[in-house]
Amino acid sequence: MKGIEREPLPGFRDFEPADCAQCNFIFNQWRSVAHTFGYEEFDGPIVEPLVLFTQKSGPEIVEQLFAFQDKGERAIALRPEMTPSLVRMVGKRLATLKRPTKWFNITEQFRYERPQKGRLRSFYQFNADIIGESSSAADAELIALAIATFQKFGLKKEHFHVRLSDRQLWVLWLKAFGVDQEQEVGALLGILDKWERRSPENIQEDLTASFKDSTKATLFLNTTEVLRKARTLDAIRECFHNCQPSSDMEALEQRLSEFKILLQELENLGVRDWVTLDLTIVRGLAYYTGFVFEVFESGDQGRALAGGGRYDHLFEKLVGQPMPAVGFAAGDVTLTDLLRKQTLFPSYQSAVDCYVVFEQTERQRALLLVQQLRAAGFSVLYSLDLQKDLGKQQKKAYADDPHYVITLTHELVSQAKTQIKGAESEQIVDLKSLLEYLKQ
Ligand code: HAM
């Protein structure tokens, strides 16, 4: 007879105990770093009104939504990211908001993507956001937090790096080509975001469709290729000077000086060496307005470990009141791959502290002891088989490899004693002093 499908749905994972232990290890490290940076933990619903995501996250996320109607005929979606929920929640208390507010969250997200290496349909994210601070000191501290989360696992400079970019510089670049309407800017940022993954012919096609002018599209393509290779502020300045005589040089200089301040702050925080200036990062989400960044495994062309940036207009667009904000999220899928590759996960221990074995005549006394030990905080197992004799229980206990096997025979119990056997010792102790013995 055919049973039910044993595998989970495509892009979803089963977490057996050893996988769960790795996942919890990641969550604990994330939580611990977030606390050291003064973030408070928040949570929200796993489903949200569909419109929360269709409004401002951009076409990529909208295409990937797990969306359906509930029994009350509401259009809802499993959350694909946390940022819109955060804005909705914080939006309720903007008038009294502590500034800056620093919140973090560790939760499961759902995106209907093609499952592939580093990308699944369900994954966990660590989100950290600073709300109510427009200074680039907030961007810098957030990048320092992103770096610290990876360092916390023992990852070093040779393992990962941050690619830092700026949407405002891209907006200036587009303006120089006569593109300044929100919708057109959004469409071109979308093309820039996918640039790396598409052939020059396809990019040319997309650009021609956007500019409705193939000569302009070619000029844009060629000059943009040069700008994408710039890795210093001077190189960016030179690109604007050489490639785009119609650029707004005053606005450019203003933005470059803000960029310089951000780089200096990263230097002050001691993390500048992890960061490469790299305008090829544009970010797929539509709501970013300023500096954006992604974290990658060094020497790997795979998917990002983390990504984020400034989104100063999202509050106004979603909840009708302006509020500066900057944030990022790191995912567990690419991180797990990297930690496994670098053997940075602690080895999995399923062993309990104690296994209590007994002659069935002493069952009542033994179970009382089990519960006393558990109440004192020890992890304890015993045989659930009402018939199993002492010899069989011992065999099972040693196979489970607990730290101690505690034996209660009729003879020992009648003398108020028990036998305790550890890896290197075997002793008879008084039952009443057993707890003290274990605590030592
Ligand atoms: P995101 O770049 O879409 O940003 O996702 C952040 C991270 O989540 C990625 O770098 C990746 O590690 C992980 N991730 C995303 N999609 C998948 C997937 N399908 N499978 C596995 N991992 C995935 C955001 O979500 C923004 N909301 C971050 C943010 C917070 N911006 C401001 N605040």
Complete DSSP assignment for 191-206: HHHHGGGS-HHHHHHH
Centroid of ligand 1 to alpha carbon of 379 (angstroms)? 37
pLDDT of residue 368: 96
How many CA atoms within 13 Å lie on the side-chain side of 72? 3
* Among the listed residues 158, 177, 161, 188, the one whose alpha carbon sits nearest the alpha carbon of residue 219: 177
Instruction: Tell me the three state secondary structure of residue 351.
Output: coil
Does residue 125 line the site of ligand 1, with CB under 6 A? yes
pLDDT for position 6: 92
Residue nearest (by alpha carbon) to ligand 1 atom 16: 119
Nearest protein Cα to ligand 1, atom 12: 331
Quote the ligand 1 centre to 61 CA distance (angstroms): 10
pLDDT on residue 247: 77
CB 124 within 8 A of CB 106: yes
- Distance in Å, CA 60 to ligand 1 centroid: 12
Q: Indicate if ligand 1 lies below 6 Å from the C-beta of 129.
A: yes
> Tokens 């470990």 identify what position?
305
The residue whose CB lies within 8 Å of the most ligand 1 atoms, and thus the one to mutate among 56, 122, 194, 285, is: 285
The tens-digit pLDDT sequence of the chain (440 residues) is 578 889 999 999 999 999 999 999 999 999 999 999 999 999 999 999 999 999 877 777 888 999 999 999 999 999 999 999 999 999 999 999 999 999 999 999 999 999 999 999 999 999 999 999 999 999 999 999 999 999 999 999 999 999 999 999 999 999 999 999 988 999 999 999 999 889 999 999 999 999 888 998 999 999 999 999 999 999 999 999 887 657 789 999 999 999 999 999 999 999 999 999 999 999 988 899 999 999 999 987 789 999 999 999 999 999 999 999 999 999 999 999 999 999 999 999 888 999 999 999 999 999 999 999 999 999 999 999 999 999 999 999 999 999 999 999 999 999 999 999 998 889 999 999 999 999 88
The pTM score is 0.94
Quote the CA–CA distance of 163 and 231 in Å, as a whole number: 10
Kindly report the protein residue whose alpha carbon is nearest to atom 25 of ligand 1: 81
Percentages helix, strand, coil for the chain (3-state, rounded to 5) are 45, 20, 35
Residue minimizing CA distance to atom 15 of ligand 1? 331
Q: What are phi and psi of 175, to 5 degrees?
A: -60, -40
Q: Check pocket membership of 329 for ligand 1, CB cut-off 6 A.
A: yes
Q: Contact at 8 Å (CB) between 129 and 103?
A: yes
327 Cβ below 6 A of ligand 1: yes
- What's the pLDDT at 245? 59
Query: Which residue is associated with the tokens 């973090």?
Result: 104
**Sheet strand arrangement including 426-430:** 380-382, 354-358, 404-408, 417-421, 426-430
Q: Whose CA is nearest to atom 6 of ligand 1?
A: 329
**Which residue has the CA at smallest separation from atom 10 of ligand 1?**
306
Show the tokens assigned to 150. 């990876």
Beta strand 67-69 with 75-78 is antiparallel
Cα–ligand 1 centroid distance for 88 (angstroms): 19
Question: Ligand 1 center to residue 305 CA distance, Å?
Answer: 8
d(CA 375, CA 373): 5
